[in-house]
Amino acid sequence: MDIEGRVVVVTGAASGIGRALCEAFGRAGARGVVAGDVNGEGAVRTASGLPDGLGVRCDVAVETDVVDLVRAAEESYGRVDIFCANAGIFELGGTEVPDAAWQRIWEVNVMSHVYAARAVLPSMLERREGYLVHTASAAGLLTQLGSAPYAVTKHAVVALAEWLSITHGDAGIRVSCLCPQGVWTAMTGATDPESREMTASTAGRDGMLEPEQVAEDVLAAVREERFLVLPHPVVATYEQRRAGDRERWLRGMRRLQASLASPPYGRPSTPGPGGTEVGS
């Protein structure tokens, strides 16, 4: 899909990958970019730096907020061509994580993608054209050491994106799924030197990327109408190993977990085979 002249909506847009996506789409000639974030002031700041931007407060876990975000885009620009469901959160721990925390991460990391598709698909299908970009993570293709909620929800995002592509691809709907490993965002300690050093030695074993690099990979995928976006190409190798010999991969992941300096439920510390990206 050509990006010039398109109308783009991005959630989790106040910082990190979301803000970088807004800026990249703006530079690429998008007719309008709508920045949505639960941090309304941050969304407005992102939008203010764009050639033609609109900032909207949006809690993606609330369906009416997502509907209102799409309505604001349509009222300002006439339609939505590309929707980037990018917001996400992280929750440390395993099955002992309280139900409320499981529910919250499910709402933000999964249901927000469902709400976005519900809001934009009818008009896209009517036009027989539209693009959905889902920010998942390498954790959605592999796993996330130290966080069952993150691993589970990111797997769900990948599954939803695949389903949407299969179900609506012949009706003109294009889908991309972003699955990076370590990206310098607030979650990975981008603004704290001590956190950056620890993250780089664990999650960054395959290289930490700046959000701007990831955003450019997304735009390239949209132009090529390519489903899988892997800013860390080595993730494809890990996924092939996992599929080719699951028992061996599981043993290797257990060894990797044991080798980490922090215990499994410490700070997000997954290197190559896991992934530690967030959307906002």
Query: Annotated active-site positions, please?
Result: 150
Q: Are strands 82-85 and 32-37 parallel, antiparallel or unpaired?
A: unpaired
Kindly give, in sequence order, each residue whose CB lies less than 8 Å from that of residue 39, ignoring residues fewer than 6 positions away. Answer: 14, 15, 57
Sheet holding 82-85, edge to edge: 53-57, 32-37, 7-11, 82-85, 130-135, 173-178, 228-229
Q: What value does the CA radius of gyration of the chain take, rounded to a whole number of Å?
A: 18
Residue 48, phi-psi category: left (phi > 0), alpha (psi -120 to 50), beta (remainder): alpha
Pairing of strands 32-37, 53-57: parallel
Are the beta carbons of 61 and 112 closer than 8 angstroms?
A: yes
